[in-house]
């Protein structure tokens, strides 16, 4: 049972890819690698549903004995007040309380339970999609069902070595385009030079970045077009929004650049107030046929 949720507590798995043509975002764990790891630690399928905590501060009480693991943003984990680390499987006796404190760095922590969180899948996924209103965030007093034990045993691993997210400047690589030519040259320099600050109003839909205005060269209205996670869309105020997993599948503002896939989990761990630097890297070669690698 959920006793406290912190700022936002949601059920997430690996999302709903392939439904963009119906207007449905991919959604899913923002730091998918962390959820996969948490699941492996308790012997689950990597894609099992777990809990995504934002800024920790979560308390859940076990009904029956459970095995859990916490990954992602490193938080103090206690079971009935006894300290445990993140990145390892912990047995929780019936009636005990698991508490996640506030993260030392990063933003999103993942709690996997052996057996996975059992919720009715919507469009093939357990994920909570804030844009679409597919499933609501968890609230105090909510009961969460746990699925049956998987066949795989809990692996005999003590502690999974992972590098925690930085509390300093987050560096993200970006590929310019598709609409960088709609901006002044100066805006492209500003994009790369600025230490963008993650705004408080950021959420699973996108990170709002605060900084100088990115000035447009072309001021026409852009017919809505498909967008991807990682897209830096620049609305009328000139400050980019970095799209995360619950982003709308189309957008009517130009996208100046897109964060490379591998750096998306880093973006997902950038906390409000933290600084972000965007570094342009060459994109895939679209002119030649064959392997872009």
Helix (H, G, I), strand (E, B) or coil at 187: helix
The stretch near another protein (CB under 8 A) out of 43-51, 155-163, 195-203, 243-251 is: 243-251
- Residue among 204, 235, 2 nearest 97 (CA): 2
- Is residue 65 part of the contact set for another protein (CB under 8 A)? no
| Secondary structure element (H or E) that encloses residue 193, with its range | helix 185-193
Site for another protein in 206-225 (CB under 8 A): 223-225
Cα Rg of the chain (Å, integer): 20
Query: Which range in 3-11, 198-206, 268-276, 281-289 contacts another protein by CB under 8 A?
Result: 281-289
- Total number of residues binding another protein (CB under 8 A)? 47
Least distance CB 108 / another protein (angstroms): 20
Nearer to another protein, 81 or 236 (CB): 236
Span from 2-10, 87-95, 196-204, 260-268 in contact with another protein (CB under 8 A): 260-268
Residue 171 as a binder of another protein (CB under 8 A): the answer is: no
233 touches another protein by CB under 8 A: no
Whether a cis peptide bond, with omega within 30° of 0, leads into 178 is: yes
List the beta bridge partners of residue 186.
none
Here the tokens at position 270 are 């950038």
Does 258 participate in binding another protein (rule CB under 8 A)? yes
Establish if 290 lies at the interface with another protein (CB under 8 A).
Answer: yes
Least distance to another protein, CB of residue 81, Å: 41
Other CB atoms within a 10 A radius of the CB of residue 200 amount to: 11
d(C-alpha 180, C-alpha 186), whole Å: 11
Q: Are 239 and 204 in contact (CB under 8 A)?
A: no
Is 123 a binding residue for another protein by CB under 8 A? The answer is yes
Interface with another protein, residue 100, by CB under 8 A = no
156 or 236: CB nearest another protein = 236
The answer to whether 58 touches 6, Cβ cutoff 8 Å, is yes
Q: What stretches of the chain show up as alpha helix (H) in DSSP?
A: 32-41, 185-193, 264-268
Kindly state the tokens that stand for 26.
Answer: 């991919």
Is residue 35 helix, strand or coil? Answer: helix
Q: Does 122 bind another protein (CB under 8 A)?
A: yes
Contact range with another protein by CB under 8 A, out of 81-89, 109-117, 171-179, 272-280: 171-179
Enumerate binding residues for another protein (CB under 8 A). Answer: 17-25, 122-123, 131-134, 175-179, 223-228, 230-231, 248-250, 255, 258-262, 283-286, 288-293
């Amino acid at each position: 049972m959920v006793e406290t949720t912190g700022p936002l507590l949601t059920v997430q798995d690996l999302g709903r890819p392939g439904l963009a043509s119906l207007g449905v975002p991919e959604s899913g764990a923002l730091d998918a690698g962390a959820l996969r790891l948490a699941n492996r630690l308790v012997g689950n399928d990597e894609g099992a549903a777990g809990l995504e905590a934002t800024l920790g501060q979560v308390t859940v009480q076990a009904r029956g004995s459970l095995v859990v693991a916490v990954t992602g943003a490193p938080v103090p984990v206690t079971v009935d007040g006894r300290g445990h680390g993140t990145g390892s499987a912990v047995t929780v006796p019936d009636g005990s309380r698991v508490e996640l404190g506030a993260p030392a760095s990063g933003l999103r922590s993942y709690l996997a339970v052996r057996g996975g969180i059992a919720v009715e899948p919507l469009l093939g996924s357990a994920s909570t999609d804030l844009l679409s209103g597919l499933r609501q965030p968890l609230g105090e007093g909510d009961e969460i069902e746990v699925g049956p034990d998987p066949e795989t045993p809990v692996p005999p691993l003590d502690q999974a070595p992972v590098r925690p997210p930085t509390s300093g400047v987050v560096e993200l690589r970006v590929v310019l385009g598709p609409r960088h030519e709609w901006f002044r040259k100066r805006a492209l320099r500003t994009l790369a030079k600025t230490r963008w600050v993650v705004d408080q109003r950021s959420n699973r839909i996108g990170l709002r970045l605060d900084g100088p205005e990115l000035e447009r060269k072309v001021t026409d209205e852009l017919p809505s077009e498909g967008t991807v996670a990682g897209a830096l869309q620049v609305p009328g105020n000139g400050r980019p929004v970095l799209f995360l997993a619950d982003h709308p599948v189309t957008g009517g503002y130009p996208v100046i650049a897109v964060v490379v896939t591998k750096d998306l989990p880093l973006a997902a761990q950038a906390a409000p107030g933290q600084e972000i630097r965007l570094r342009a890297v060459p994109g895939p070669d679209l002119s030649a046929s064959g392997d872009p690698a």
